[in-house]
């Protein structure tokens, strides 16, 4: 079956089952195009929380579906491929974080949404790249802050917020594929283009960019900015989203290599099967969910 026929079948089945399909900006173009809503982690969490559908099909990675399950415990959240994880989220564990907390008693733990539900449960506030700066600013001055797991986002957001944070040494392997050689080559190839990068990129890449934005911030920036051409430093799926949302503008990836293999595990066929089977359902043990809920709710309420 071609993409268009499969998309028609998915939409039919979603209507029949009363399902909402959410897709992250890094999903395959054909998966983005079949979704009810395409967005970043913050936007998708808010949509999941507000949705009244019988089922939520989450086209993203595991921690995203878990976050939706924390917010919406009474309706099934389905991840079309359970193997779609996030290596960055796997870089922080409860035991290690508890040890760091013991070394810094009284520190406020700000965890990026790219963490397991168990890590969220031992964190004080969650954030996404869209509201990390506001979340860090919201911590009372004088309190120590531990930021997990992304060292790049943590350092960038702390600098923007004018605060100092203890950063966990995690990173995104996909954004780690973007380096300063790519920036120099792209500037030479497209001298009139502005460079917009995600804060998960390494600090030397961030330092050379014209703008540093979350994926939702990139869309806003490119819509409002008066340039006609942009070089984008984030996962490749974002180019499709920008081309749709910013007609008349041209987008080039900083590198064709920035492809997240986990995001790309979700295919139209798997979305169709997930709807048919109403699974795999992602669940969070109730005691963990209750402990994580406060941190996630604060994330959903703040900013951007």
279 binds ligand SF4 (CB under 6 A): no
Which residue's CB is nearer to ligand SF4, number 108 or number 153? 153
Which residue's CB is nearer to ligand SF4, number 84 or number 146? 84
| Interface stretch with ligand SF4, choices 47-55, 95-103, 154-162, 171-179 (CB under 6 A) | 171-179
255 binds ligand SF4 (CB under 6 A): no
153 binds ligand SF4 (CB under 6 A): no
Q: Where are the beta strands (DSSP E) in the chain?
A: 19-24, 37-39, 55-59, 77-78, 108-112, 125-127, 145-148, 166-167, 194-197, 211-212, 229-233, 250-253
* Smallest distance from ligand SF4 to CB 149, Å: 9
User: Judged by CB under 6 A, how many residues of this single chain contact ligand SF4?
Assistant: 13
* Smallest distance from ligand SF4 to CB 70, Å: 18
Which residue's CB is nearer to ligand SF4, number 7 or number 116? 116
| Interface stretch with ligand SF4, choices 73-81, 100-108, 204-212, 256-264 (CB under 6 A) | 256-264
3-state SS record for 208-219: HCCEECCHHHHH
Which letter does DSSP use for residue 170 in this model? B
Which residue's CB is nearer to ligand SF4, number 51 or number 61? 61
| Interface stretch with ligand SF4, choices 152-160, 178-186, 210-218, 257-265 (CB under 6 A) | 257-265
296 binds ligand SF4 (CB under 6 A): no
* Smallest distance from ligand SF4 to CB 115, Å: 11
Helix (H/G/I), strand (E/B), else coil: 31: helix
Please list every residue from 23 through 82 that binds ligand SF4, using CB under 6 A.
26, 61
Distance CA 168, CA 187 (A): 32
CA distances to 251, 256, 284 from 195, in Å: 10, 15, 39
Q: Is 252 in contact with 238 (CB distance < 8 Å)?
A: no
Distance CA 71, CA 41 (A): 13
Q: Which of 54, 55, 53, 65 is nearest to 27 (CA)?
A: 65
174 binds ligand SF4 (CB under 6 A): yes
260 binds ligand SF4 (CB under 6 A): yes
Backbone angles phi, psi at 24, to 5 degrees: -75, 155
Q: Which of 5, 20, 23, 15 is nearest to 269 (CA)?
A: 5
Please list every residue from 101 through 120 that binds ligand SF4, using CB under 6 A.
114
* Smallest distance from ligand SF4 to CB 297, Å: 22
Among 263, 292, 300, 302, binds ligand SF4 (CB under 6 A): 263
What count of other Cβ atoms lies within 10 Å of the Cβ of residue 54? 12
Q: Would you tell me which residues interact with ligand SF4 (CB under 6 A)?
A: 26, 61, 86-88, 114, 172-174, 235, 260, 262-263
């Amino acid at each position: 079956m071609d993409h268009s026929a499969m998309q028609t079948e998915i939409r039919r089945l979603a209507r029949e089952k009363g399902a909402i399909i959410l897709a992250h900006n890094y999903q395959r173009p054909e998966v983005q195009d079949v979704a009810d809503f395409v967005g970043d982690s913050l936007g998708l969490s808010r949509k999941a929380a507000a949705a009244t559908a019988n089922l939520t099909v989450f086209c993203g990675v595991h921690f995203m579906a878990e976050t939706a399950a924390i917010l919406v415990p009474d309706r099934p959240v389905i991840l079309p491929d359970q193997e779609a994880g996030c290596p960055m989220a796997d870089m922080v564990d409860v035991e290690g974080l508890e040890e760091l907390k013991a070394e810094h008693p009284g520190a406020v733990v700000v965890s990026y949404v790219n963490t397991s539900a168990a890590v969220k449960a031992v964190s004080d506030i969650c954030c996404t790249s869209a509201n990390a700066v506001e979340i860090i600013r919201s911590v009372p001055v004088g309190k120590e802050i531990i930021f997990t797991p992304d060292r790049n986002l943590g350092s960038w957001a702390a600098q923007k917020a004018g605060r100092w944070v203890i950063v966990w040494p995690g990173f995104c392997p996909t954004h780690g594929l973007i380096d300063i050689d790519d920036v120099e080559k792209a500037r030479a190839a497209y001298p009139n283009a502005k460079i917009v990068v995600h804060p998960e990129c390494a600090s030397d890449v961030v330092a050379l960019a014209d703008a540093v934005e979350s994926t939702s911030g990139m869309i806003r920036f490119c819509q409002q900015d008066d340039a006609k051409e942009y070089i984008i430093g984030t996962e490749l799926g974002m180019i499709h989203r920008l081309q749709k949302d910013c007609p008349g503008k041209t987008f080039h990836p900083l590198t064709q290599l920035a492809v997240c293999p986990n995001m790309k595990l979700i295919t139209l066929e798997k979305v169709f099967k997930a709807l048919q089977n109403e699974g795999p359902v992602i669940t969070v043990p109730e005691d963990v969910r209750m402990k994580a809920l406060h941190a996630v709710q604060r994330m959903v309420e703040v900013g951007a």
